[in-house]
C-alpha cells in the first residue's frame, strides 16, 4: 500500500465530489451512491433522526481512493440490526451506550459494500486499505468516547476481515429472490411446489380481474407527480403499521430529480385513473431492491402483485440476478424468496461489555444458522427442500 495515502474525516456528503464518490461504488451497492446518501442529508431526513455523518476518506495524491461512511448515533432507530437489549444492559450497569458509531445506510436494511475501495486496486491493496479505514474509524471512536462501532448489512468478506481486526460477527437473515435463468414467470413457478404455484396464480388472477391499471415505470416515465403519490403511499403505510416515517416529501422529490435513473415504480390505479397504491424500488445492473410500499385502501393481493410479482417479472425480462425486498418476510418466503444470511460486525470498546456481547453472539449465530437451514428445508422452492 502506498504510504502517501492520507486519511481525512468529513461530516457532510455535500462537501464531497459526486463523480469521485460514485466511482468507488459497486453495482450491487447502489444505496451507497452519492445521490442517495447526499439526498438523505440535504432533505433533513438524517438530521431529524440523529444520524450525524462521520465519513472516513482515503486520498492518494488528492484523489479519493477509499471511503467508509459512518454515522454518530444517539439511539438505534432505523438500523434494523437490533441492539436495544445491549443498550439496556449497559444502562443497567451504569455504562453509557450512546453515542455509538454505525456503518450503514440510514433506514435501509440492504446488504452492500460498506468499505468503498478503488476498483483499480488489487485485492491485497483493497484489504490493506480497508484495514486502514477501519483502524481510522476505531481511533476516531476512541477519541470521541463512543461505546461501540457497528458495521451493518455488510458483505460476508467485510465481516470476515473486520473479525480479524477485533470485531465480533453477527448473523441475521432476510428473504431474496434469485433468477435461475428463467425465461418467464411461469418457468419460475414450476420450480415451486404445486400448492404454491396454484396459490400464486390465483392471487395474480384475482388482481387482474379487478380491472386495475398497474404500470411499471422507469427513467423518463417517472415525473414529479409520482413523488407525491408515493410519498402519500409511504405515509399511509407508516401511520398504520410503523408509527414513524423517517423520510419526508422533499426526499421523494429529490430522488425523482437526481436518482430517477435508478428508480422502478410499480403504480396501481383504479379504472378511472386515480392512483391507489404501489411500490417504490431501485435497481442497478443485475440487482433490484424493493423499498417502500403503500396503498390508500386495502385491496387483497395488491401488495403481493406490486412488491413481489411485478419485480420478478421485471427481473426475468431484464435478466437480472437478484431481487431483494427488504426486512421481514414470511410473505416473501411463501412466494419463492430464499432465506439468506445477513452479516454484521461489532466492536465494543468496554472490555466487560465486549466479553458479554461476544458470548451472546456466539450462541445467536448458531441459532440463526439453524433457523436459515430450517426455513429453507420447508421452502416452497423444490430444490431447496430436496437439498
The proportion of the chain whose per-residue pLDDT surpasses 90, expressed as a percent, equals 93
Those residues with Cβ within 8 angstroms of residue 330's Cβ, 6 or more apart along the chain or in another chain: none
CA dist., res. 182 & res. 188, Å (int)? 6
pLDDT value of residue 307:
95
Query: How is residue 176 written as a grid cell?
Result: 431474496
What average pLDDT score do residues 63-89 get?
96
Secondary structure (3-state) at 321: coil
Question: Is 204 in the same domain as 146?
Answer: no
Residues 100-111: tens digit of each pLDDT: 999 999 999 999
pLDDT value of residue 304:
96
Residue 329 has pLDDT above 80, yes or no: no
Residue 41 lies in a domain: yes
Q: Rg of the Cα trace of the chain?
A: 22
Among 38, 64, 61, smallest CA distance to 119 is for 64
Give the residue numbers spanning the domain of 294: 180-320
Question: Is 316 in the same domain as 199?
Answer: yes
What average pLDDT score do residues 211-233 get?
96
Question: Of 272, 290, 320, which one is at a domain's C-terminal end?
Answer: 320
What average pLDDT score do residues 210-231 get?
96
Question: Is 292 in the same domain as 309?
Answer: yes
Residue 96 has pLDDT above 60, yes or no: yes
Question: Is 62 in the same domain as 90?
Answer: yes
Residue 266 lies in a domain: yes
CA dist., res. 135 & res. 90, Å (int)? 24
Residue 1: pLDDT band with limits 50, 70, 90: low
Question: Is 308 in the same domain as 185?
Answer: yes
pLDDT value of residue 236:
81
Query: How is residue 323 written as a grid cell?
Result: 431481487
Residue with cell 465486549: 354
CA dist., res. 157 & res. 178, Å (int)? 20
Angstrom distances, CA of residue 192 to CA of 98, 166, 339: 46, 42, 15
Question: Is 146 in the same domain as 10?
Answer: yes
Could you give the number of structural domains in the chain? Answer: 2
Question: Is 21 in the same domain as 129?
Answer: yes
Residue 84 lies in a domain: yes
pLDDT value of residue 226:
96
Residues 263-311: tens digit of each pLDDT: 999 999 999 999 999 999 999 999 999 999 999 999 999 999 999 999 9
CA dist., res. 344 & res. 111, Å (int)? 10
pLDDT value of residue 242:
52
| Total residues belonging to the chain | 387
Residue 275 lies in a domain: yes
Residue 39 has pLDDT above 80, yes or no: yes
Among 87, 94, 82, 103, smallest CA distance to 170 is for 82
Could you tell me the CATH number of the domain that includes residue 287? 3.40.630.30
Contact 116, 151 (CB under 8 A): no
DSSP 24: T
Residues 110-156: tens digit of each pLDDT: 999 999 999 999 999 999 999 999 999 999 999 999 999 999 999 99
Question: Is 228 in the same domain as 117?
Answer: no
Residue 244 has pLDDT above 90, yes or no: no
pLDDT value of residue 300:
95
Question: Is 243 in the same domain as 96?
Answer: no
Question: Is 162 in the same domain as 185?
Answer: no
pLDDT value of residue 331:
86
Contact 129, 65 (CB under 8 A): yes
pLDDT value of residue 241:
54
Question: Is 168 in the same domain as 186?
Answer: no
Residues 160-199: tens digit of each pLDDT: 999 999 999 999 999 999 999 999 999 999 999 999 999 9
Contact 203, 310 (CB under 8 A): no
Question: Is 99 in the same domain as 200?
Answer: no
Contact 80, 33 (CB under 8 A): no
pLDDT averaged over every residue in the chain = 95
Helix or strand holding residue 352 (H, E): helix 351-377
Helix or strand holding residue 45 (H, E): helix 45-48
What average pLDDT score do residues 13-27 get?
98
Secondary structure (3-state) at 181: coil
Residues 346-385: tens digit of each pLDDT: 999 999 999 999 999 999 999 999 999 999 999 999 999 8
Amino acid at each position: 500500500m502506498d504510504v502517501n495515502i492520507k486519511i481525512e474525516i468529513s461530516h457532510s456528503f455535500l462537501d464531497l465530489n459526486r463523480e469521485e464518490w460514485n466511482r468507488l461504488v459497486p453495482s450491487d451497492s447502489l444505496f451507497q451512491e452519492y445521490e442517495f446518501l447526499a439526498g438523505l442529508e440535504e432533505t433533513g431526513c438524517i438530521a431529524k433522526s440523529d444520524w450525524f455523518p462521520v465519513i472516513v476518506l482515503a486520498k492518494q495524491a488528492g484523489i479519493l481512493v477509499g471511503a467508509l461512511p459512518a454515522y454518530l448515533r444517539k439511539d438505534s432507530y432505523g438500523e434494523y440490526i437490533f441492539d436495544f437489549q445491549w443498550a439496556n444492559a449497559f444502562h443497567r450497569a451504569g455504562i453509557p451506550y450512546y453515542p455509538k458509531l454505525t456503518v450503514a445506510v440510514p433506514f435501509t436494511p440492504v446488504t452492500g459494500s460498506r468499505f468503498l475501495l478503488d476498483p483499480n486496486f488489487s485485492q491485497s491493496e483493497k484489504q490493506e486499505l480497508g484495514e486502514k479505514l477501519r483502524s481510522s474509524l476505531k481511533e476516531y471512536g476512541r477519541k470521541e468516547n463512543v461505546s461501540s462501532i457497528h458495521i451493518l448489512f455488510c458483505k460476508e468478506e467485510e465481516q470476515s476481515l473486520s473479525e480479524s481486526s477485533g470485531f465480533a460477527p453477527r448473523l441475521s437473515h432476510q428473504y431474496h429472490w434469485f433468477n435461475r435463468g428463467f425465461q418467464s414467470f411461469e418457468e419460475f413457478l414450476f420450480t415451486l411446489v404445486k400448492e404454491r404455484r396454484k396459490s400464486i396464480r390465483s392471487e395474480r388472477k384475482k388482481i387482474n380481474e379487478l380491472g386495475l391499471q398497474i404500470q411499471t415505470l422507469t427513467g423518463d416515465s417517472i415525473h414529479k407527480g409520482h413523488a407525491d403519490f408515493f410519498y402519500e403511499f409511504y405515509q399511509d403505510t407508516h401511520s398504520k403499521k410503523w408509527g414513524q416515517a423517517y423520510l419526508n416529501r422533499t426526499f421523494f422529490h429529490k430522488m425523482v430529480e437526481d436518482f430517477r435513473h435508478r428508480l422502478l415504480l410499480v403504480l396501481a390505479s383504479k379504472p378511472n385513473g386515480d392512483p391507489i397504491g404501489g411500490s417504490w424500488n431501485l435497481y442497478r445492473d443485475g440487482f433490484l431492491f424493493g423499498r417502500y410500499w403503500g396503498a390508500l385502501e386495502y385491496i387483497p393481493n395488491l401488495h403481493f402483485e406490486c412488491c413481489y410479482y411485478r419485480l420478478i417479472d421485471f427481473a426475468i425480462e431484464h435478466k437480472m440476478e437478484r431481487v431483494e425486498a427488504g426486512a421481514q418476510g414470511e410473505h416473501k418466503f411463501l412466494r419463492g424468496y430464499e432465506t439468506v444470511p445477513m452479516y454484521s460486525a461489532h466492536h465494543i470498546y468496554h472490555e466487560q461489555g465486549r466479553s458479554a456481547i461476544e458470548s451472546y453472539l456466539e450462541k445467536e449465530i448458531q441459532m440463526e444458522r439453524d433457523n436459515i437451514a430450517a426455513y429453507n428445508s420447508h421452502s416452497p422452492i423444490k430444490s431447496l427442500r430436496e437439498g
